[in-house]
Amino acid sequence: MISGIMIVYQLALLVCDFIHLLFRAVILTVLAAWRTVYPRALKSVSGELVIITGAGHGIGKELSLQFARLGAKVICLDVNETSNNKTVSDISLEGGTAWGYRCDVSNREDVHKTATKIRSEVGEVGILINNAGIMPCKPFLRHSAEDVKKIFNVNVFSHFWTIQEWLPSFIARGSGHIVAISSIAGLMATSNLVPYCASKYAVKGLMDGLTEELRYADRHPNIRLTCVHPFVIDTGLAKKPRIRFPSFNPITSAEECAAKIIEGVRQEKEVICIPGKDYYGIKLTNLMPREVYKAFLDFMDTGVDEDDC
């Protein structure tokens, strides 16, 4: 008798949860459509302390310049001290505020040492942008073991080291924003970039997993995460890009890409940088608003609980 009542109760609860999911999906889809037509106001970054890796070149340099123009205080990290100092100098010439630190973000000890120095000399950051990356373009079998290790050390593990360094302060403060530059190759793979594609898929997995972990049970709702998926950017990394319809889908300039990234950060949405197209907050892999995707995950309630040890 009791077991029968429990079965009925569980079925009724499941039906109620499913109806609630449908209701949330409809509301969130309508809201996403509304936000597409009438985007939310861009949040201010004036006075924010922003740390950017790979700031000496390409997207990283443009991000540094444009954040500084919006009133942010920028900490520039790069393994190339000369180009990094040039970025800091350019910001200063425009009247902005910036600091430069040489840092090999692929090295855990170097990241920790630099972060300690930054805390002592500048303070705690509010926005972390993991931009540093390398992109060797050659067939899979021409990549040596050292090539693959270097790609993952720079493109993937650097994200782990910087996030592990700064996330605790975000949690202690109750706010913060983590931005990761992945790639369109982290959504759709291509030839001659196998290790690179794998590394960018890994970045996407890191950000998706961290998003779920931070929002689970409403743990840290005010820590924002933005994953960026640029198309081919004119930074010199892709020396021989092949595009069948360049007039429809041209190569993006670093300046335009940085502007889209900053807009996405200020709207707190995922960004896919394709020239002339603003796919903010939409996953190409499932074509549903991100909040509906989260609601579905909540309904499924499937995952792995924390180990006791």
Which residue type does 22 have?
L
Asked if 186 and 203 count as a contact pair (C-beta separation under 8 A), the reply is yes
Place of tokens 């996405």: 264
Q: What is the pLDDT of residue 250?
A: 66
pTM exceeds 0.95: no
42-279 in CATH: which number?
A: 3.40.50.720
Query: Which candidate, 225, 291, 294, places its Cα nearest to that of 264?
Result: 225
CB 252 within 8 Å of CB 232: yes
Sign of the dihedral defined by the CA atoms of residues 239, 229, 209, 10, in that order = negative
Residue 267: partners with Cβ closer than 8 Å, 6 or more residues away: 39, 40, 42, 43, 280, 281
72-97 pLDDT, tens per residue? 999 999 999 999 999 999 999 999 99
196 assigned to active site: yes
Cα–Cα distance for residue pair 51/62, rounded to 1 Å: 13
Torsion of CA 232, 236, 242, 247, to 10 degrees: 60
Region of residue 126 (left: phi > 0; alpha: psi -120 to 50; beta: else): alpha
Q: How far is CA 74 from CA 70, 77, 226, in A?
A: 11, 10, 18
pLDDT at 245: 63
Q: Which of 196, 201, 280, 293 is catalytic?
A: 196
> Considering only CA atoms, which of 184, 178, 215, 224 is closest in space to residue 201?
184
Low-confidence ranges of the chain (pLDDT < 50): 274-287
Residue 208 to residue 129: CA distance in whole angstroms: 16
pLDDT digit string (tens) for 148-159? 999 999 999 999
Q: How long is the chain?
A: 309
Evaluate the CA torsion angle 218, 224, 230, 236 in order and state its sign.
negative
The tokens of 226 are what?
A: 């933005």
Residue ranges per structural domain of the chain: 42-279
CB-based contact 76:54 (threshold 8 Å): no
Burial (CB count <10 Å: 0-12, 13-18, 19+), residue 32 = middle
